[in-house]
Structure 1
Amino acid sequence: MEESQEKVIIVEGLADKKRVNKIVSEPVTIICTNGTIGLSKMDELEEMLSEKDVYLLLDADKAGEKLRKLFKKEFPEARHLYIDRGYRAVETTPYQQLAAVLLSANIDVHLQYLNP
């Protein structure tokens, strides 16, 4: 069987990164945009992310939607993962909910986060 490409999850903040990192049980790279992203950073990311499976896990707010639009334009092949709008932010989404979102994208998670 062919080795799958490296997975990269893009989140907004450090708290998001820590939360996702705790749940994921396979080696993934988690990149923080720190809320906003400039053109030079986007160019840097384009170079770094070519040939990788890119997932976007952004907040369900205006800033998150703005980032999502930008990534849709620059990385049309990226998979968009969505949290329930009621939680608004990745960092406040319950572990169980995040684990289900990640698992639905074929990202391995620690099983204890799937149980209520």
Structure 2
Amino acid sequence: MNPSTEIVIIVEGLSDKKKIMQLVKEPVEVICTNGTIGLSKLDELVEELEGRDLFILVDSDSSGDKLRKQLKREFPLARHLFIDRKFKEVATAPLEHLAQILLRARIDIHAQYLHKG
């Protein structure tokens, strides 16, 4: 954990994390749940993430929906980011689509991933 970064994004898998890290220009911490998260790990996160800007970006499928519900209970102040359901997974969503979602959340993105015009 890097408490010096204000922004934290929770994703499901390592491929999601790599994709987000590729897009983001400012220092952010991306945490992988690997699809599920145990209660002890969740308790740990609740303490560590207190006072930081927390975003939830999980897949648009049943396991992502289940994880989102669990995270919503534990982190009521987190902002939820949603990919278009047609892409289903963060890892398979186009970089430009993810860049737009992050930009709308006021997260600084590398300019080459933003649509021109």
Q: TM-score range by the shorter chain?
A: over 0.9
Task: Give the share of equivalent positions with the same residue, in percent.
Answer: 58
Partner in structure 1 of residue 90 of structure 2? 90
Aligned-pair CA distance for 1:115: 2.4
Q: Which runs of 5+ in 2 are unaligned?
A: none
SS state at 2:77 partner: coil
Aligned-pair CA distance for 1:97: 0.2
- Partners of 2:114 and 2:83 lie apart in 1 by 15
For normalisation by structure 2, the TM-score amounts to 0.93
Partner in structure 2 of residue 104 of structure 1? 104
Partner in structure 1 of residue 13 of structure 2? 13
Aligned-pair CA distance for 1:90: 0.1
Partner in structure 1 of residue 75 of structure 2? 75
Partner in structure 2 of residue 59 of structure 1? 59
Deviations 1:88-115 (A, max 9, x none): 0000000000000000000000010012
Structure 1 residue ranges (4+ consecutive) displaced by more than 4 angstroms after TM superposition: none
For normalisation by structure 1, the TM-score amounts to 0.94
- Partners of 1:57 and 1:73 lie apart in 2 by 15
Q: Which runs of 5+ in 1 are unaligned?
A: none
